[in-house]
A and B are shown apart, each in its own frame.
Chain A
Amino acid sequence: MGVEVKNSELSSNVRVVRLSGRLDMDAAEADSPVLRLAVDESPAGVIVDMEGVTFLSSSGLRMLIAIRQSALAAGKNVAITRASPMVCKTFKVAGLEDVFRFYESEGAAVEALWQ
C-alpha cells in the first residue's frame, strides 16, 4: 500500500492524496494519519485519487468515512477520483455510493466542488 500527498495543480486550496495497492486494515491504520494531516493542511479539502487501489475492505471504508467527517466538520470537501469498478462495488455494497462524491478525474472534481 502506498500513499502520496501533493498540491492540486488545478486549485491551490486542494490537496491530492494518491492511494495505491491494497487498502485493508493494515494499510488503513498506516495511512489514516497521512490523510488526516492532508485534510487539516488543506484550505478547502482533498481529492482522494484511488486509481492505484487494487483492493478495498471495510477498514479502508472506515478510514475514508472518518476523513470525510473531519473534512465536513471543518467546512471542507472530499472527492474520490478514478476508483475502479471493483473498488466502486465495495462502496456500493456498503451503501456508501451516495455518501461520497465520485469523479472521473481531478479536473472534474475541482470543477464540481471547488470552482
Chain B
Amino acid sequence: MNKSDSSPAPSDRAACGEATFSVGTLRVPARSSHLSLIGMFVQWYAHHAGLSDEACYELEVAIDEACTNVIRHAYGAGKPGGITLHCTPLNRGLQVDIWDQGIPFDPTEGGRIAQQKQACDPASGGFGLSMIRQFADDVHHQ
C-alpha cells in the first residue's frame, strides 16, 4: 500500500545535505506481540519519507490493520508463520509491501464478511478493511 504527502522528496533532501535512506525490510513472527515493532518500523520509514505526523499515524494504522488480519485470519490462532514488510521510499511518499505465507485473502469475500460483522455485531470486528482503504492512498492484494 502507498501513502503520499506534499513534503520534499527524499532526493531533494539529499541534495540539501540531509541523510537519505533506501528500501528496508523487517521479518517478524506473525504474533500480536510484534505489532508494536512493526509500528515503529513503519513510523521510522514514514517520517524519513517526509510524511506529516498525521500521515505517519494513518499509515501505521493501515499497516497494523493489515498485519492484524494476517495474524488473525491468514494464520489463525497459534499457527506458526511470518510476516515480511518492505518499505520503499517513493518520490513523495512511501510504499509498504506486506508478505505472508498464510491462507490467501480474497478482498471481495473479506469485504462481504466485514459488512456482515458490522451489521450483526460491531464488537466482532469488520472495521479493519475500511480503515486500511481510508488511511492508505493505494491498496493492492495479490
Contacts of A89 in B (CB 8 A): 57-58
The chain B residue sitting closest to A30, CB to CB, is B32
Query: When the two chains form their complex, are residues B54 and A22 in contact, meaning their CB atoms are under 8 A apart?
Result: no
Contacts of A24 in B (CB 8 A): 32, 35-36, 39, 64, 68
Query: When the two chains form their complex, are residues B64 and A66 in contact, meaning their CB atoms are under 8 A apart?
Result: no
Interface check B130, CB cutoff 8 A: yes
Contacts of B134 in A (CB 8 A): 93
A56 to B57, CA, bound (A): 10
Of the candidates A25, A58, A94, which one forms a contact with B35 in the assembled complex, judged by CB atoms under 8 Å apart? A25
Interface check A29, CB cutoff 8 A: yes
Chain A interface residue count: which class?
20 to 34
Q: Interface centre among A25, A61, A89, A96, by most B CB within 10 Å?
A: A25
**Chain B interface, number of residues (Cβ within 8 angstroms):** 25
A58 to B58, CA, bound (A): 12
Chain B, 27-41, CB within 8 A of any chain A CB = 32-33, 35-36, 39
Of the candidates B32, B60, B123, B128, which one forms a contact with A55 in the assembled complex, judged by CB atoms under 8 Å apart? B60
Of the candidates A22, A58, A90, A96, which one forms a contact with B68 in the assembled complex, judged by CB atoms under 8 Å apart? A58
Of the candidates B36, B72, B130, B131, which one forms a contact with A22 in the assembled complex, judged by CB atoms under 8 Å apart? B36
A89 to B134, CA, bound (A): 11
Chain A, 55-102, CB within 8 A of any chain B CB = 55-59, 61-62, 65-66, 69, 86, 89-90, 93-94, 96
Report 7 cross-chain contacts, Cβ distance below 8 Å, ordered by A residue: A26-B33, A55-B39, A58-B125, A65-B123, A69-B123, A90-B61, A90-B131
Residues of A whose CB lies within 8 Å of any CB of B are 22, 24-26, 29, 55-59, 61-62, 65-66, 69, 86, 89-90, 93-94, 96
4 nearest A-B residue pairs (beta carbon)? A26-B32, A58-B127, A66-B123, A25-B32
